[in-house]
Structure 1
Amino acid sequence: MATKRTRARLSSVRVDEDDVKISAASTTVIKEERKSTRASKRIKSQATGKDTTYTPIATTTKPKTTLTTKAKVDVVKPGPRLKYESPLEGGNLPLPWKGRLGYACLNTYLRTATPPVFCSRTCRLSSILEQRHPLQDPEQPPHRTKNRPDRTQPADTCRGQRYVEALGLANARDLAAMLRWNERFGIRFLRLSSDMFPFASHGEHGYALAPFAAETLAAAGCVAAKYGHRLTTHPGQYTQLGSPREDVVTAALRDLAYHAEMLRLLQLPPQQDRDAVMILHMGGVFGDKAATLRRFTQVYREKLTDEVRARLVLENDDVAWSVHDLLPVCEELGIPLVLDYHHHSIVHVNNENEKEGDNESENEDADLDTSPPSVAARTDLAARIRATWTAKGITPKMHYSEPSAGPLATPHQRRKHSARVVTLPPCLADADLMIEAKDKEQAVFDLMRRFQLPGFERIGDVPPHERDTTAVKNFDGVDVGGPEGLVYWPEGHEDWLKPKKKSRKVEDKEEEDKEEEE
């Protein structure tokens, strides 16, 4: 029998009305057909979206999937997306949209270009150490098998450093191309990859970015300044200032200093420079939440540089630290607070600050406060969050994503981000919104096309498997790897970005040769 806790959770979940379920009879038909006929394979592939007819999203109407087989089965649509109460006031979409929509780190279209354009080239630490040795044949270019470093020769630290610096410079050069490409298609918000300069914050093998990367980063910053793009960073989960371990805190300080230097070398105009923040999670609780907050406060006040404090922003997470946990310390220390809608939906806070996923064997019959917050409470929360930003003159930003799992999924499964998002959340009118979806810029394109946001008319569908494979990189960031404007691929069809398989080309060539002979 379902407990009150379970019933409370399920009652708070709303599923889109047009989400459908497969009937038991249809399921039986499909199973029988799969066992006996070749047509069943077509049914299966179409039901999973591989052979379905795609309708571009230009309005709020969702694309309809059509099946052309004789068997009558219910349409299988993507799994239901959860909806949850907004922690802020209002339930209407923030239209017309005033802020900037952005994505994180990787551009799927440019990453699959020829050659690829991306900002996260990295290596192993062992590769840096290996590259300290000269090549077996210094007169020839390096090769992974034919001309590798000769470990019998003396090592040179500078040689290994040049290797890792070259990776970072290639990443920084591609940043400028990504920004121009984003401007072309109306995206003016980007999170920089923390891997742009590999191992720059390493305790033993770390290095400063200036002077070797100063000019390249400044060039990328000029592009961002010209078009008014916002650039931010998000140090990783192991950067924890509240840890009881001194070595963890020391590593976190190095990592924050690296991110701050990278943003400083962009040389952005004053307002864009203030908006270039570093988002950080509080991290673990370490058995005592109050003690963790005290350690964080002490490190923030005594060990962080003014530059890092000016850029540091806290974000609520989906495990331990809710908006209600972080807002008081943000107000006390003058730290802006990023509201992550998806994380907020995972950590449900009741009168006792109990989070979803706690041990259900305890207090199973306890009544939970599942009612949504009042309008007055949401209004107050929105005003307090906004004040943490305006106090420093920084443009507010928020994070939005949707769970990929269905409404009956476990809390762990619900933490996974969906490939796309279907709506815009109610949020501050002047806030920028980071879309944290697996399909990156394509999730932003989906929103632009669905709600007809500025620039949506410039986004066309990628011709399947017809991208140019000529290895020419256009550093203007336009038309890299494909025709102008044809940059959108529908959900589930990332394979459209790749050329036809070579085996198919060989078969076509053989058929052409045979026809010529005949």
Structure 2
Amino acid sequence: MIKRIGYACINNNLKPRNFQQCRLNSVYKYGIDYLRDKIVNNLELIKDILRWNIDNGIFMYRVTSNLLPLVEHPDILKDFEWRWKQDKELLNIMYEIKNIVQKNDIRLSMHPDQFTVLNSTKTSVVENSINYLNHHYEILNLLGGNDIIIHTGGVYGDKTSAIDRFIEVYKELSKGIKEMLRLENDDVSFNIDDVLFISKKTSIPIVLDVHHHRCNKKREITNDDIKIIKDTWKNTGIIPKMHISSGKTGFYDKSHGDYILEEDIKSFISLIQDIEIDLMVEAKEKDNAALRLINYL
């Protein structure tokens, strides 16, 4: 049973408005207010996206990881006195977003990019990854969100050792990050059995991506697997979150198509049966794909 349906980051119906990024040299050329104005734009856009979502029956949303560009860059911290966490206007907008989220029971998440690799063999990469997770936690906590989704990382020629490194690094994470962290299976290296093994050792809730599972081509997934995945969420107080997508050019194409194919949603519904979940649509048409799925259901 699907409770909420959501999508990631971009809202096509509100274009040409979009999230703005910033180059480091532009900050030095135009000043820190140039960066700050872009951040205000991004936060105001999040507010309007959430309002649009509510009006259209969408109560789950993934916030872009580039919401606050450059704010933790060492050169910015070294050469400018401004700090985003002390900016009252920014914090007020984030508080307004949190109010919208809480009043409307919206499930808000973030998905740090591929450079977040907790099981890297390089200490510097692991340290940067932890700092990046801390940054996401601070933002999502202020916005009223509760899901930070990551992948296990790289195999580095030895999957067992790679899994062991992930588990050891996880133990050192802060309590806040641990409470928000979710582990997703990927389409190349770490399949559903791998992440479930990690979950047994760490109690990290599992986010099943059904298209990743399909592309990994290891085995068929069953409703018994869904029950086990559901159990990984039992200590969170919230229902499982899962991802769905359709291949752009074919069944095993890892690239996302514009919309979710009817055969894929039928297969997914048959798989989960009466287990309640929230479903994130990962499709090129973003909000339009979520609306089409809602209308189909």
Whether TM exceeds 0.5 here: the answer is: yes
Q: Please, which of 129, 144, 149 is the counterpart of residue 28 of structure 2?
A: 129
Check conservation: 2:7, 2:290, Cα contact below 8 A. yes
Offset, 1:204: 4.2
Q: Please, which of 102, 107, 123 is the counterpart of residue 230 of structure 1?
A: 107
Offset, 1:176: 1.1
- How does 1:114-125 map onto structure 2 within 5 Å? 116=17, 118=18, 120-125=19-24
Counterpart residue number, 1:431: 277
Output the CA distance in 2 between the equivalents of 1:205 and 1:292: 34
Offset, 1:379: 3.6
Output the CA distance in 2 between the equivalents of 1:208 and 1:386: 40
Counterpart residue number, 2:155: 285
Q: CA RMSD in A?
A: 1.8
1:100 counterpart SS class: strand
Q: Please, which of 171, 186, 192 is the counterpart of residue 42 of structure 2?
A: 171
Residue-by-residue CA offset, 1:118-155 (whole Å, 9 max, x unaligned)? 3x2111122122234xxxxxxxxxxxxxxxxxxxxxxx
Output the CA distance in 2 between the equivalents of 1:419 and 1:316: 22
Check conservation: 1:243, 1:249, Cα contact below 8 A. yes
Output the CA distance in 2 between the equivalents of 1:204 and 1:242: 27
- Structure 2 CA distance for partners of 1:216 and 1:335, relative to 1, 3 Å: same
Q: Please, which of 85, 109, 115 is the counterpart of residue 210 of structure 1?
A: 85
Offset, 1:222: 0.8
Check conservation: 2:115, 2:129, Cα contact below 8 A. yes
1:176 counterpart SS class: helix
Offset, 1:255: 1.0
1:330 is aligned to 2:199: yes
Counterpart residue number, 2:121: 244
2:198 aligned partner, one-letter code:
V
Counterpart residue number, 2:182: 313
2:236 counterpart SS class: coil
Q: Please, which of 239, 242, 245 is the counterpart of residue 395 of structure 1?
A: 239
Offset, 1:348: 1.3
Check conservation: 1:209, 1:262, Cα contact below 8 A. no
Output the CA distance in 1 between the equivalents of 2:158 and 2:70: 32
Output the CA distance in 1 between the equivalents of 2:285 and 2:111: 18
Offset, 1:103: 0.5
2:3 counterpart SS class: coil
Output the CA distance in 2 between the equivalents of 1:287 and 1:257: 28
- Which moves more between the two structures, 249-258 or 388-397? 388-397
1:417 aligned partner, one-letter code:
H
Q: TM-score, normalised by structure 1?
A: 0.53
Offset, 1:224: 1.5
Counterpart residue number, 2:7: 103
Offset, 1:262: 0.6
Output the CA distance in 2 between the equivalents of 1:393 and 1:124: 40
- Structure 2 CA distance for partners of 1:448 and 1:392, relative to 1, 3 Å: closer
Check conservation: 1:104, 1:190, Cα contact below 8 A. yes
Check conservation: 2:230, 2:239, Cα contact below 8 A. no
Gaps of 5+ in 2: none
1:291 aligned partner, one-letter code:
S
Counterpart residue number, 2:56: 185
Check conservation: 2:185, 2:212, Cα contact below 8 A. yes
Output the CA distance in 1 between the equivalents of 2:37 and 2:105: 28
2:6 counterpart SS class: strand
Larger proportion of helix? 2
Output the CA distance in 2 between the equivalents of 1:208 and 1:242: 30
Offset, 1:386: 0.5
Offset, 1:394: 2.6
Output the CA distance in 1 between the equivalents of 2:184 and 2:228: 14
2:85 counterpart SS class: coil
2:99 aligned partner, one-letter code:
C
1:443 counterpart SS class: helix
Offset, 1:391: 2.0
Offset, 1:170: 1.6
Larger proportion of strand? 2
Output the CA distance in 2 between the equivalents of 1:254 and 1:201: 9
1:172 aligned partner, one-letter code:
L
Offset, 1:208: 5.5
Output the CA distance in 2 between the equivalents of 1:260 and 1:334: 18
Output the CA distance in 1 between the equivalents of 2:238 and 2:68: 26
Residue-by-residue CA offset, 1:200-250 (whole Å, 9 max, x unaligned)? 343443685422122110101111112211110000011110001111111
Output the CA distance in 1 between the equivalents of 2:28 and 2:151: 32
Check conservation: 1:422, 1:447, Cα contact below 8 A. no
Q: Please, which of 232, 236, 248 is the counterpart of residue 404 of structure 1?
A: 248
Output the CA distance in 2 between the equivalents of 1:389 and 1:201: 32
1:392 counterpart SS class: coil
Offset, 1:178: 0.9
2:4 aligned partner, one-letter code:
R
Output the CA distance in 1 between the equivalents of 2:74 and 2:227: 41
Check conservation: 1:277, 1:313, Cα contact below 8 A. yes
Check conservation: 1:201, 1:254, Cα contact below 8 A. no
1:320 counterpart SS class: coil
Gaps of 5+ in 1: 1-93, 133-159, 351-371, 452-518
1:101 counterpart SS class: strand
Output the CA distance in 2 between the equivalents of 1:297 and 1:130: 44
Counterpart residue number, 1:91: none
1:196 is aligned to 2:95: no
Q: TM-score, normalised by structure 2?
A: 0.90
* Structure number, greater radius of gyration: 1
- Structure 2 CA distance for partners of 1:448 and 1:394, relative to 1, 3 Å: closer
